[in-house]
Structure formats: C-alpha cells, structure tokens
Amino acid sequence: MLGVVLVALSILVTILIALVVVNLSVGERRVEQEVEHLYSLDDPQFFRSMGLLLGPEITHGNRIKELVNGDQIFPEMLEAIRGAQRTVLFETFIYWSGDIGTQLAQAMAERARAGVKVHVLLDWLGSLRVDPEVPKLLSEAGVEVRLFHPLHWYHLGRMNNRTHRKLLIVDGRIGFTGGVGIAPQWTGNAQDPEHWRDSHFRVEGPVVAQMQSVMLSNWSKTTGCILHGEDYFPALEPVGDQPAQMFASSPSGGSESMTLMVHLAITAAVRTIDIGSAYFVPDAISCKAICAALKRGVRVRVITPGKHTDEATVRRASRGLWGDLLEHGLEMYEYQPTMFHVKVMIVDGILTSVGSTNFDPRSLHLNDEANLNVYDREFAARMTALFEADLRLCHRITLAEWQHRPVREKVHERLATLLAPVL
C-alpha cells in the first residue's frame, strides 16, 4: 500500500514540475545576443527594420490623442462605445468590480440590444474579481463574452500565458490602447494613493485596422471564430499625419518580437531614451543594451513606482538590478504620489512606444502584449513634456543612495532578484 502511495506522489510531483516548466517556457529561443548598433532612428534603415524585419508595416495618416488618467480616459471610451453603429471589440487583462466597470458594461449592453455586434475578451485570471452581475448583464444583452485561458485541464500548460493587452476598437475606426485596467484604481486624476497614474490613447486612421487584427487574433484563438468583413475592417482614409504601427507579441507566435523591437530602438538611440514602466525588471541582455547606449553618450531616464506599488516583490527585484545601470549613468526615478502604471518609451524624440508592455520578463516573454509605435516628433515632444511632468513628482535614486541602502533591503532585493525571470 505504501509503495502505491509513493508511486502516486512521485507521479503527482512529476506532473507538477512538468507543468511549472511548461508554463515558464516561451517555446522559443530567447534573445541572447546584444543587437549591434548599425544606424540611428534618423536613418531610413531603422524604419525598414521596424516595419519589415520585426513587425507590421508602418502606416501613414493617423491621429493619436493622449489621455491622462481616468478622468480623461474613461469618458472618451464611454463616448466611443455609446456612439458605436456596427461593432465593439474589447480585450483587457483587469476587469474588477466598481462603478466604471458597471458603466462600461451598461454602455456595451445598450449597444448590443440596439443590434451592434459586441465582443468582449477578458483574461480569466485578471477578471477573477469582476462583479458577477457584469458578465450576466453583458450576456443577457447579447454581448459575446469569452475568457482567455480559463482554468481547465487543456489550458494547464498555458496558465502562465495571460493576455495583458488593453484594446478597445469601435466600428473598426476608433481604437484605444494603453495601460488602464477596468477598476476603481484607474478612475480619478491620480490625486491620492487610491487613484493610480496612467495613460491611454485614442487612435484614428489606418493603424486602427492593425489594432483590430491584433484583437481578433486572440478572439479567433479563444473561440475558433473568424470575424471579418466591412463591419470589422472598413476602408480607412487618412485623418492625420502621424506614422504608426501596432506591434503585438504572444508566446504562441513571436514572443520575442516585442523584445527585439525594444532592443532595436534602444540600440539605434544616439541622444535620449525615456522609459516609464510600472514594472522595470530588465534582464541581462536588456541591461547590456541600456549600458551600451549610455556608453554612446545617450541620456537614459527611467520612471518606475516608489513606495506606492501593487507588487512589492517586483519593486525589490527591480531595485536589486540597478547597480550596474547607475554606475554607467542611468537616471533612475521613483514616482511618489501614487502607483505609477504608465508604459512608455520615447527614443531620440522620434519614436514613442505606448501600450500594455512593461519592461520586465513577464511582458517581454510570457504575456500577450500590444504596443502602438508612433513615429512623430510632435507627438514625442508632447509625451516627453508629460514624462518630465511626472519626473517632477519623483525622487531620483543616485548611485550613492542605492549603495548605502539598509542591509535588510539589500537582502530582500537579492532574494527577489532570484524570481526576476518570472516576474
């Protein structure tokens, strides 16, 4: 009898180990070699590489509007949904309880009852705290609601692969993307620690078709249904003058593409790199790329959360990795008023990359992510001004301060860095 129990335990342990290994594996070779600096962002070759080597083509004729914090973000999203005539597609990681979740659900339900095709894809893990009345309201109104990788035996090998994308596309013509989840923390104007600092973006023009395609790729993988036709992909005329592309990554198809995009941009930089990231945990190759940029004379500034953070372990792991970067001249800042949830990278005043991607292994290797790359100096200037407004609310961490932090902090950070590859 004891032998049978031991065999059963051995099998169970083996299965658990196998599941952990499978869930932490991206199934592809990770980027292990530093990208060589061959050209700057001013060189046409950079645009060819970004649009042909790595991602979708760079489209022209777009108009992108930045929205700062919930007071600006949610009214625009609600207005777009309420004005929908044909389709609404919505994909998000976080959808919790709260007034804003109810408002969005009511708006989508009303449009569905009016005959608009509404499709909602929620990450199973990120929406565990959703008010049960929300999916009930949506489903009863005729909204198609699906969960991404719900807990089921045939998803056990993919439970660590979450959709972290934040996408809303209305009538195939208006798109929204950025960092916000659907929860009370994202409402307001970052006025206190209970209301977070974040940015979102309203998009019009040909690049919206790429946003729609990114959303529908996960919809088809989840449902087996292909949504197409004019309701989803109408002809899109130029509405502005901003070149842009929608860059996406997924462990099931091109998990390293986001990493390569980020590294290529950093490697091409010759003047400035500004990074805002809710979770800044660069791996070894990313640290090498940043240090190489610093050696070329590039000014690199990073904003990440301070004491107000929803992931204390991630913050500790991040701080434990700053030594070499600070020694090479990196300017590191911690945001003070509240949780800093912005995801942005601005390079040489030309490229601005915004969306759902953090500068950490989870975003770059494990999650489904989507970033909007905008190649426009005027937009980059506006985003730099916003970045510098955030800087004024930060505390700069110098090399001396980092070196003289308490021993207990150093121990905690050292232990946390052991988990860095899966954070």
Catalytic residue among 123, 149, 171, 308: 171
Q: 183 and 143 in contact (C-beta within 8 Å)?
A: no
Q: Tell me the C-alpha distance between 335 and 137, whole Å.
A: 38
Active site residue 195: no
DSSP state of 361: H
Of 123, 198, 348, 360, which is the active-site residue? Answer: 348
Q: Find, among 351, 148, 355, the residue nearest to 249 by Cα.
A: 355
Which DSSP string corresponds to 152-163? -GGGGGGTT--B
Q: How far is 12 from 19, CA to CA, in rounded Å?
A: 11
**Lookup result for tokens 């006025």:** 191
155 is catalytic: no
CA separation, residue 373 to residues 17, 146, 152, 215, 344 (Å): 38, 28, 35, 16, 10
Question: Among residues 119, 149, 164, 200, which one is catalytic?
Answer: 164
List the catalytic residue out of 119, 123, 149, 166: 166
Catalytic annotation present for 99: no
- Residue pair 46/243 in contact (Cβ under 8 Å)? The answer is no
Among 119, 200, 343, 365, the one annotated catalytic: 343
Query: Is there a catalytic annotation at residue 166?
Result: yes
Torsion angle in degrees (nearest 10) through CA of 275, 205, 208, 242: -20
Q: Is 343 a catalytic residue?
A: yes
Contact in structure between 232 and 172 (CB atoms under 8 Å): yes
Contact 396/332 with Cβ under 8 angstroms? yes
Is 136 one of the catalytic residues? Answer: no
Catalytic residue among 119, 149, 200, 341: 341
Looking at the annotation, which residues are catalytic?
Answer: 164, 166, 171, 341, 343, 348
